[in-house]
């Protein structure tokens, strides 16, 4: 799964992979991004061919869903195209969430040991995600997850779906709506591209946000 991540790269460091974007304000660095907050996204809005770099709420709940409906932060790649809850968004409202790394916890006694996962080359990357209009008219997002691969499987059985640079444009293309067609054009980053290390349990608190949270934990 993906329930915490970091995004601290400067705008020029990742935007050149996408092309021209409409940007209001480049984001400030965030080292411990938690659900239920506004996060940066790259998406196409209705009837607008230009990509927008803006904020979406990390919590997916379509406006047609009832009050008791869940507000998931993740959607499984195995069912996102067929689930009634996600299907329309998968077909028409796919987006990207830029990131530099994410956190997972090893099972064990409390407090569980968090690990920071990122690319071996420390380059930023993009989570595949879907968004929907919420009841308040604001966009809400779910990050897509897949079975963990490579070293990520040492920490957790799920990981975010992270797309290759060549997959970014097809993923954002609203004319691609068929699941099998999307699968032909979209690829995840190879498993060997990722690494991880143990970090301080301070990051278990959503209010903690210092750069030191992604450093190797003392004594590890």
Residues labelled catalytic: 2, 104
d(CA 153, CA 104): 10
Residues 6+ apart with CB under 8 A from 118: 100, 101, 102, 194, 195, 196, 214
Exposed (0-12), middle (13-18) or buried (19+): which is 213, by Cβ within 10 Å?
buried
d(CA 116, CA 114): 7
Tokens (6 digits) for 55: 């904020």
d(CA 204, CA 212): 13
């Amino acid at each position: 799964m993906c329930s915490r991540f970091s995004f601290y790269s400067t705008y020029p460091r990742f935007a050149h992979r996408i092309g021209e974007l409409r940007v209001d304000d480049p984001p400030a660095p965030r080292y411990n991004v938690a659900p239920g907050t506004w996060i940066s996204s790259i998406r196409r809005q209705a009837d607008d061919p230009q990509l927008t770099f803006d904020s979406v709420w990390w919590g997916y709940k379509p406006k047609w869903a009832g009050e008791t409906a869940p507000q998931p932060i993740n959607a499984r790649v195995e069912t996102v195209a067929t689930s009634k809850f996600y299907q329309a968004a998968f077909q028409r409202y796919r987006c990207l969430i830029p990131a530099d790394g994410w956190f997972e916890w090893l099972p064990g006694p409390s407090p569980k040991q968090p690990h920071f996962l990122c690319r071996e080359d420390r380059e930023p990357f993009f989570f595949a995600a879907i968004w929907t209009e919420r009841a308040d008219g604001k966009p809400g997002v779910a990050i897509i997850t897949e079975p963990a691969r490579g070293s990520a499987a040492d920490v957790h059985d799920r990981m975010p779906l992270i797309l290759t640079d060549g997959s970014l444009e097809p993923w954002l293309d609203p004319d691609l709506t068929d699941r099998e067609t999307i699968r032909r054009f979209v690829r995840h980053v190879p498993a060997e591209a990722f690494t991880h290390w143990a970090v301080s349990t301070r990051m278990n608190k959503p209010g903690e946000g210092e750069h030191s949270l992604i450093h190797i934990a003392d004594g590890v």
